[in-house]
Structure 1
Amino acid sequence: MKFLSTSLVGALSAAALLGFAAGAQADYPSGAIDYVIPFDPGGESDVTARFQEPILEEILGVNVNVVHRPGGGGAVAWSEFQNSAEPDGHEIIGVNIPHIIGQPIQRSDAGFETDNWEIITFFHSTPNALIVPANSPFETLDDLIEYARENPQAVTLGGSGTYSANHLDMLRLEQEADIDLTYIPFSGTGPLPAALEGNHVAGIFNYTMLGVQMEDRVRVLAVASEERVPALPDAPTFKEQGYDIVGGAYRGVAAPAGTPPEIVETLAEAFAETNRRIAERQEPLGFVMEYITGDAIDEVIGTLRDAYAPILEAAE
């Protein structure tokens, strides 16, 4: 699913991107902005925030402080944010699909609600990838699936969070291939390379970025995209290998519920310009740039909620 490509982001008028203040409250922003990342340092959300930070500071004219609050696959920070953040645009938080959809469906005690904030934009996506160490006995996806059929639950796959994009697509692989795997949730992407290289897991179900980042140290058995990802041209898709699995994560940013629309618009335009500037740095890392705002946000969430709900309910 793709709503607006990098080229279209670049086509946004300069007047719209330079005229933030005209439509925003006159005194916004009046101080530093805390940009909360609800995962460990080192993952996709953190890497992107570090790219965004200096450009947002230039555009908005204030300090933008990246703050990490990991735990519960994002739920700890999202719960705290929805319950305590002031709706003045000076605290924003990273949000991820399907985390923000799946966790409230699966757990009544998730601590946050899918719709209880003002989502500013989704700025990029990353397809899932099934990754094993370079010296793994599994040289192909078929190797792993054949072993898993003969040894139920013996294949352990790490991933970021519970009922995250990683977890959900692993569950889809179980259904598609009629196998039984063991999923090991981590607090974010950051700890996964060490877990993989330390042989704590047989493989990881994570994102294309990690496959690019680890390069010759790993083997990417499959990517959950419609077509091969340019940054991983030798990695086959699941669809090429007979499994109808296309999925991954959409990453964006949210403000507290009740934030004035003028502030939300100002922040959306700032992130759009930031996206345009960092695209050439992120796309080679395995990211797909997006610009999803307004009604398109509800469309994405609604479509994916319908897709994930049966999987989550079956997993209970």
Structure 2
Amino acid sequence: MKTPTRAIATAIAFATLGVGSVLAADFPSKPIDYIIPFNAGGESDISARFQQSVWEKHAGKPVVIQYMAGAGGAQAWSKLNGMESDGHTIMGINLPHTVLQPMIKDVGYKTDDLTPVHYFHYTPNAIFVPKDSKFKTLKDLVEFAKANPGVVTFAGSGSNSANHLAAAQFNELAGVKTTYIPFSGTGPAITALVGSQTLAGFNYAPSGIKQGDAIRMLAVASEERMPAFPDVPTFKELGYDLVGGAYRGVSVPKGASDEIRKKVSDLVAAINADPEFREKMEAGGFVLTDVTYDKVGAFVEGKKAEYAKAAELLGLKKK
């Protein structure tokens, strides 16, 4: 009796693999739903819109962008694995958010529950102030912060995000105490900054292009000055060893086959190599990366070790 049972199980397994391969071969067979776990207007949205402009050229099918904001992205990420896993539903994914959030508290998902397939760009952190701010330089802001502990408020994209981490690192390096105000995404954070609801913002560099003269960038956390902002000094130039930002990519539901995961990664890589897309991204202050599906695992493991130290810096306790 055991042999027929084993034979039936093997046949079912091969049949399932066969169906998965057929689905992957036909991918994409319909429009792809691209879920952004933040509000419209932030860097995740901007880069997705740039991708959308060349998506059909590379995929043969269009992409539909949707939003599922809440809890700094956690609301969407906690629901990802319950969605269709045929590759036609993908979701934006961010580091350090998806490492720090579940490291600190129960947010409805764990880092290892998620299935990132490609990280395609990086945005350095930067300090901004409203155009009419009395802070003309970073030195001005630091001097004020030292004389007025806790009074300088930074608008940023979510708790336990790259912005939040940068603000904590800056406090330590500059010997100041500031107050970080988390918003549900870059869009609302920048709106608050432009409206002078906070004295400053720890946001991502591309915001400096989108907002134009409405805000002023005091320093950027890149290794070298960015081509899009040649007049903005790096923190390192100003004596602060602060380099960092957010990595963004796409994830699929955990049930997606390896073939589908690779197909999505290959599609994102093709878009990343598209000259039209690259020009828009680089002019917008984004730094392109290509962490493909075969490299994602090691990349995330490295970031997990790096961000473990960040939890202590943020004054947060691991759950």
TM-score normalised by L of structure 2: 0.87
Residues of 1 paired with 2:254 and 2:34: CA distance? 16
- Quote the residue 2:252 is aligned against: 255
Quick check: which has more Rg, 1 or 2?
2
Asked if 1 retains the 8 angstrom alpha-carbon contact of 2:118 and 2:291, the reply is yes
- Quote the residue 1:62 is aligned against: 61
Secondary structure of 2:304 counterpart? helix
Q: What's the offset of the Cα at 1:237?
A: 0.5
Residues of 2 paired with 1:25 and 1:295: CA distance? 17
Counterpart of 1:309, as a letter, is A
> In structure 1, which of residues 103, 122, 126 is the aligned counterpart of residue 123 of structure 2?
126
Secondary structure of 2:197 counterpart? coil
- Quote the residue 1:71 is aligned against: 70
Secondary structure of 1:262 counterpart? helix
- Quote the residue 1:104 is aligned against: 102
Asked if 1 retains the 8 angstrom alpha-carbon contact of 2:74 and 2:108, the reply is yes
Q: What's the offset of the Cα at 1:63?
A: 3.5
Asked if 1 retains the 8 angstrom alpha-carbon contact of 2:69 and 2:75, the reply is yes
Corresponding position: 1:89 with 2:50: no
Q: What's the offset of the Cα at 1:26?
A: 2.8
Identical-pair percentage: 46
Q: What's the offset of the Cα at 1:24?
A: 6.9
TM-aligned CA distance change 1:58 to 1:138, over 3 Å: same
TM-aligned CA distance change 1:281 to 1:54, over 3 Å: closer
- Quote the residue 1:43 is aligned against: 42
Q: What's the offset of the Cα at 1:86?
A: 2.6
> In structure 2, which of residues 162, 177, 180 is the aligned counterpart of residue 180 of structure 1?
177
Residues of 1 paired with 2:89 and 2:80: CA distance? 9
Residues of 2 paired with 1:27 and 1:139: CA distance? 56
- Quote the residue 1:115 is aligned against: 112
Runs of 5+ unmatched residues, structure 2: 1-20
Query: Any idea what the Cα deviations from partners look like across 1:18-48, whole Å, max 9, x if unmatched?
Result: xxxx997233333332110000011111111
Q: What's the offset of the Cα at 1:103?
A: 0.6
Secondary structure of 1:39 counterpart? coil
- Quote the residue 1:29 is aligned against: 28
Residues of 2 paired with 1:35 and 1:141: CA distance? 38
Secondary structure of 1:25 counterpart? helix
Query: Any idea what the Cα deviations from partners look like across 1:49-80, whole Å, max 9, x if unmatched?
Result: 11212432333233321110000110000001
Q: Which deviates further from its counterpart, 242-251 or 269-278? A: 269-278
Secondary structure of 2:206 counterpart? helix
- Quote the residue 2:199 is aligned against: 202
- Quote the residue 1:284 is aligned against: 283
Deviating beyond 3 angstroms after TM superposition, the runs of 4 or more aligned structure 1 residues are none
Asked if 2 retains the 8 angstrom alpha-carbon contact of 1:121 and 1:253, the reply is yes
Residues of 1 paired with 2:298 and 2:141: CA distance? 36
> In structure 2, which of residues 237, 243, 262 is the aligned counterpart of residue 265 of structure 1?
262
Counterpart of 2:97, as a letter, is H
- Quote the residue 2:18 is aligned against: none
Q: Which has the higher contact order (CA 8 A, sep 6+)?
A: 1
Number of residue-to-residue matches in the alignment:
293
Residues of 1 paired with 2:83 and 2:35: CA distance? 11
Matches within 5 A, 1:135-214: 135-214=132-211
Counterpart of 2:309, as a letter, is P
- Quote the residue 1:3 is aligned against: none
The CA RMSD measured in Å over matched residues stands at 1.7
Asked if 1 retains the 8 angstrom alpha-carbon contact of 2:77 and 2:114, the reply is no
Runs of 5+ unmatched residues, structure 1: 1-21
Secondary structure of 2:133 counterpart? coil
Counterpart of 2:230, as a letter, is P
Residues of 2 paired with 1:291 and 1:71: CA distance? 27
Q: What's the offset of the Cα at 1:214?
A: 2.0
Asked if 1 retains the 8 angstrom alpha-carbon contact of 2:154 and 2:200, the reply is yes
Residues of 2 paired with 1:23 and 1:152: CA distance? 62
TM-score normalised by L of structure 1: 0.88
Q: What's the offset of the Cα at 1:296?
A: 2.7
TM-aligned CA distance change 1:264 to 1:295, over 3 Å: closer
Asked if 2 retains the 8 angstrom alpha-carbon contact of 1:209 and 1:286, the reply is yes
Query: Any idea what the Cα deviations from partners look like across 1:227-262, whole Å, max 9, x if unmatched?
Result: 011101111111111111100011100111131111
